[in-house]
A and B are shown apart, each in its own frame.
Chain A
Amino acid sequence: MSETSIDSASRSDDGFFERYSSRALIAAVTVSAIAALLVGGWLFPDSIVGTFADVVTSRNTLSSALRLSVPIAFAALGGIFSEKSGVINIGLEGLLIISAFTAIYVTDVTGGVWVGFGGGVLASVLLALLFAVVTIEFRADQIIAGLAVWLIALGLAPFASQVIYGGPNTPTVPTPGSITVPVLADIPFFGALFSASPSVYLLFLAVGLSWYVFERTTFGRWIRASGENPKALDTAGVSVTRVRYAAVLLSGVLSGMGGAALSLDLGQFTGNGPTMVNGKGFIAIVAYLFGNYNPIGAFLSTLLFAGLDAMQTVLQLQGIGVPRQLIRITPFVVVIVVLALVGRTRIPEAAGEHYESGEE
């Protein structure tokens, strides 16, 4: 008796250790690296370290990191909802593309930026609905269906642009501008948080709300149960199918907000090659894995990736060239290292599996 309880206690300690310590280690390394950089920059302002320190503490870096974060973080939130419910949605990239184009088109036609925003979200939801029907109703393979969503959008958006505008790039439309909070916006560095596009504020709201839904509401629990042990949820009298539909549609809503914000903030959709979305949907997947399916964690890891990207741009302006390609692969390298080291990014038990009620 006492042996088993000691045993289980030590086991849970191990679990705690494994779950948090590697992540804590990475956070500590990051923090001390930044601290070392800042100290070094302060001691030797003219050295290359000094330049780095300037860039890291520059308000512009934070502001462009936030801007770059918006589509990735929204898509990551969407991916969390979907995958936590048991449906792996690797079509986030496609949802971003379709909403980015539709938002510009609707804005162009109606003249209203927020109408365009809504149009983009709607397009993404419709594509997510198609994905949901195919994977939940017809039990298609989630990975293949997700790839199809990406490929459909990747072909459809530039094609529609070609038909409507005669080229893969749309003309420019008005942008929503930015919202500046007086006084707070004047704070050095962190002032960037208070002078940003409305989509940044929307993102803060979405991150907080998503966290609340998972941690505090009945629906959030049902989503978790649906992805971990759908049979337990089913025997508790909750329809797994409905929960999964709701979660996948929510991933459409959130990704749609990300895609629409991406193109509207620039006022244009560019559809050459991988389009303006350019892999952000895939980085989103990496971000939520790195964030261990936690909305706040996913947002912070997005900010880290976007921050690296923003730094790279600033550094190039300062004449220190870091190849863009190197920066771009950072998130993927980081996630491989993290998954290998941490090993505790816990994928929902039933993710990727179909569920049919009453199956014995």
Chain B
Amino acid sequence: MDTAVHLDGITKRFPGVVANDNVDFAVERGTVHALLGENGAGKTTLMNVLYGLYDPTSGRVLVDGAERSFESPRDAIDAGIGMIHQHFMLVDPMTVTENITLGNEPEKWGGLAVDRAAARDTVVDLSERYGFDVDPDARIEDVSVGEQQRVEILKALYRGADILILDEPTAVLTPQEVEELFEVLEELTAQGKTIIFITHKLGEAMRAADDITVLRDGRNVGTVDAAETTREDLAELMVGREVILDVEKSPAETGDVVASASEIVVEDERGVRAVDGVSFEVRAGEVFGIAGVDGNGQSELTEAVTGLELPDSGRIEFLGDDVTETSRRSRIDAGMSYIPEDRQDRGLVMDFDLVENGLLGSQHTPEFGPNGRIDWNHSREHAEAIIDEYDVRPPNADATSESLSGGNQQKFIVGREFDRDPELVVAAHPTRGVDVGSIEFIHERLLELRAQGVAVLLISSKLEEVQGLSDRLAVMYEGEFMDVVDPATTTEEQLGLLMAGEHPDERATGSEESPQPERNAASGGEHA
């Protein structure tokens, strides 16, 4: 057993956040090791520690058995580590060869000229040795994304890397290119290179890796042999199963359908169907939950429902009207509140104060903006009311949202959105990155709204959250609803299977509620 990389007890703290908490991570030479976890689990932080971008707060980095301390990526490169970032570091108008040799160009005539023939030969040799399909003379801007990625890998190899870190390498690739990448990885390990492969897609980890380490909330929750593990085990490791709270909720008194979606299709920029024909309805007084591992189309579906993205096909109705193509603003006015997944990017303007942030989405209403002028006094009272009611700290309406902790930012957003008097609340990961006390508080508020007859669409990858709060629960996998189940009578194991894209056998409960029985039949051959 030859260990190429060993991270020993790595802890990395940022102000207010522990990104990595005493992580042990060891990679054997000549293997592909997947680092699996949800967004924000600390995967990239851990690899940035290895690559010399971050100094660990505590812990040791050992490469080839020797303890190393990297000041910068240059030290890591010198130690034989190469990192292929999610965003490629390539110069578009230059050729493949020029990019690979950039910074280390072979020269002739005493440095007066680049030895272009030698550079080209080296690149051709390298790509033949590893079986790469690249054209050394093509410009980067003219080649496919998959080829650009191979150029990045060649760049690292050209500089003598033995250990390659790939950060979410499949995020930008088409399915065929993903297969090509996995073949490349096999060839590299066959020649003794070591690969660390960051991903949040468990199917890819199973397919490409020899070993899989799962990170959750900055901790290593298990390293498993890819050949001996199952999808459901991995899904459970990723999303966790500890119950944070027991939600006591009254039986649902459901009313009319408030919102419905039929056959929604959303394609991403690569033309892949992120949401593939999803239908559901949410009734007044119920919580409809959507569970699933991140990146299975939940974000795209949420944006289509809230009006931030136009679905490629399908129909969305809200309070009996077709709103498929209406603006976000008209949906707000009609009573659709939205707690966005990324609160700093979509929920708040970070350098605005809370008075201004409290106004967002209401600035045009007669209440806050009569006659085209903003009523600042009323806005201030509004912000202070939210701060008071939702216990936002520090209780200062003049503070910028930047100065608040994540949990308090979230409480403020929740307050703003709930105070709109909504008919439907779309809550995407409403408790992500929020402390336990605030989680409980937000959950209670959601249930209060439900008791008042508001419809709630809850999207979360936390199993205990969606299971505890939802009246009906859909499980989303690769853009489709696997099933819609009764969360009270469905076990975590069954949910884990669904989240991994497999149907539990016929004793699965709630199947009479499933709107898509044809999916049951299709499950067999899907993941061969």
Which B residues between 73 and 102 are near A, CB-CB below 8 angstroms? 73-74, 77, 89-94, 98-99, 102
* A11, A12, A236, A237 — most chain B CB neighbours (10 Å): A236
Query: Could you tell me if A218 and B99 are in contact, using CB atoms closer than 8 angstroms?
Result: no
Residues of A within 8 A of B107 (CB): 218
From the candidates B90, B93, B113, B143, name the one contacting A346 in the complex (CB within 8 A).
B93
Which B residue sits closest to A212, measured CB to CB? B113
1/0 contact string of A211-235 vs chain B (CB within 8 Å): 0000011100110110011011101
Query: Could you tell me if B113 and A235 are in contact, using CB atoms closer than 8 angstroms?
Result: no
The answer to whether residues A235 and B89 also contact, given A15-B141, A217-B112, A218-B105 and a CB cut-off of 8 A, is yes
Bound-state Cα–Cα, A15 to B92, Å:
13
The answer to whether residues A232 and B90 also contact, given A15-B142, A216-B113, A358-B72 and a CB cut-off of 8 A, is yes
From the candidates A12, A217, A237, name the one contacting B103 in the complex (CB within 8 A).
A237
Is residue A183 within 8 Å, beta carbon to beta carbon, of the partner chain? no
- Number of residue pairs A-B, CB distance < 8 angstroms: 71
Is residue B250 within 8 Å, beta carbon to beta carbon, of the partner chain? no
Bound-state Cα–Cα, A12 to B176, Å:
21
From the candidates A216, A233, A349, name the one contacting B114 in the complex (CB within 8 A).
A216
Residues of A within 8 A of B92 (CB): 228-229, 349
Query: Could you tell me if B89 and A221 are in contact, using CB atoms closer than 8 angstroms?
Result: no
Bound-state Cα–Cα, A225 to B92, Å:
9
Query: Could you tell me if B91 and A1 are in contact, using CB atoms closer than 8 angstroms?
Result: no
Query: Could you tell me if B176 and A218 are in contact, using CB atoms closer than 8 angstroms?
Result: no
Is residue B174 within 8 Å, beta carbon to beta carbon, of the partner chain? yes
Residues of A within 8 A of B143 (CB): 8
Which A residue sits closest to B155, measured CB to CB? A236
Residues of A within 8 A of B93 (CB): 224, 228, 346
Is residue A4 within 8 Å, beta carbon to beta carbon, of the partner chain? yes
Minimum Cβ distance to chain A for residue B111 (Å): 7
Which B residues between 139 and 162 are near A, CB-CB below 8 angstroms? 139, 141-144, 155
* A11, A218, A349 — most chain B CB neighbours (10 Å): A218
Is residue A46 within 8 Å, beta carbon to beta carbon, of the partner chain? no
Query: Could you tell me if B113 and A236 are in contact, using CB atoms closer than 8 angstroms?
Result: no
Is residue A238 within 8 Å, beta carbon to beta carbon, of the partner chain? yes
**Chain B count of residues within 8 A CB distance of the other chain:** 32
Residues of A within 8 A of B111 (CB): 218
Bound-state Cα–Cα, A12 to B92, Å:
13
Residues of A within 8 A of B72 (CB): 358
Query: Could you tell me if B105 and A221 are in contact, using CB atoms closer than 8 angstroms?
Result: yes
Bound-state Cα–Cα, A15 to B142, Å:
8
Bound-state Cα–Cα, A238 to B89, Å:
13
* B72, B89, B102, B174 — most chain A CB neighbours (10 Å): B102
Bound-state Cα–Cα, A5 to B111, Å:
37
Which A residues between 217 and 262 are near B, CB-CB below 8 angstroms? 217-218, 221-222, 224-225, 228-229, 231-233, 235-238
Residues of A within 8 A of B73 (CB): 235
Which B residue sits closest to A237, measured CB to CB? B103
Query: Could you tell me if B142 and A11 are in contact, using CB atoms closer than 8 angstroms?
Result: yes
Residues of A within 8 A of B114 (CB): 216-218, 221
* B89, B94, B144 — most chain A CB neighbours (10 Å): B89
Is residue B365 within 8 Å, beta carbon to beta carbon, of the partner chain? no
Query: Could you tell me if A232 and B91 are in contact, using CB atoms closer than 8 angstroms?
Result: yes
Bound-state Cα–Cα, A216 to B119, Å:
12
Residues of A within 8 A of B89 (CB): 229, 231-232, 235-236
From the candidates A5, A11, A232, name the one contacting B99 in the complex (CB within 8 A).
A232
Which B residues between 6 and 32 are near A, CB-CB below 8 angstroms? none
Is residue B313 within 8 Å, beta carbon to beta carbon, of the partner chain? no
Bound-state Cα–Cα, A346 to B142, Å:
15
Bound-state Cα–Cα, A218 to B411, Å:
54
1/0 contact string of A348-360 vs chain B (CB within 8 Å): 0100000000101
Bound-state Cα–Cα, A77 to B433, Å:
53
Is residue B326 within 8 Å, beta carbon to beta carbon, of the partner chain? no
Which B residue sits closest to A14, measured CB to CB? B142
Is residue B53 within 8 Å, beta carbon to beta carbon, of the partner chain? yes
Which A residue sits closest to B72, measured CB to CB? A358
Residues of B within 8 A of A349 (CB): 92
Residues of B within 8 A of A358 (CB): 72
Bound-state Cα–Cα, A235 to B93, Å:
18
Residues of A within 8 A of B104 (CB): 236-237
Residues of B within 8 A of A217 (CB): 112-114
From the candidates B77, B98, B139, name the one contacting A237 in the complex (CB within 8 A).
B77
Minimum Cβ distance to chain B for residue A134 (Å): 26
Query: Could you tell me if B105 and A12 are in contact, using CB atoms closer than 8 angstroms?
Result: no
Bound-state Cα–Cα, A8 to B103, Å:
28
Residues of A within 8 A of B113 (CB): 216-217
26 contacts between A and B (CB under 8 A): A4-B144, A4-B174, A4-B176, A15-B141, A216-B114, A216-B116, A218-B105, A218-B111, A221-B98, A221-B102, A224-B94, A228-B92, A228-B94, A229-B91, A232-B90, A233-B102, A235-B89, A236-B89, A236-B103, A236-B155, A237-B74, A237-B104, A238-B102, A346-B93, A358-B72, A360-B53
User: Which A residues are closer than 8 A to B by beta carbons?
Assistant: 1, 4-5, 8, 11-12, 15, 216-218, 221-222, 224-225, 228-229, 231-233, 235-238, 346, 349, 358, 360
The 3 closest A-B pairs by CB, nearest first: A236-B103, A12-B142, A232-B89
Having A216-B114, A217-B113, one finds 9 other A-B pairs with CB under 8 Å, namely: A4-B144, A4-B176, A218-B107, A221-B114, A224-B94, A229-B92, A233-B91, A236-B103, A358-B72
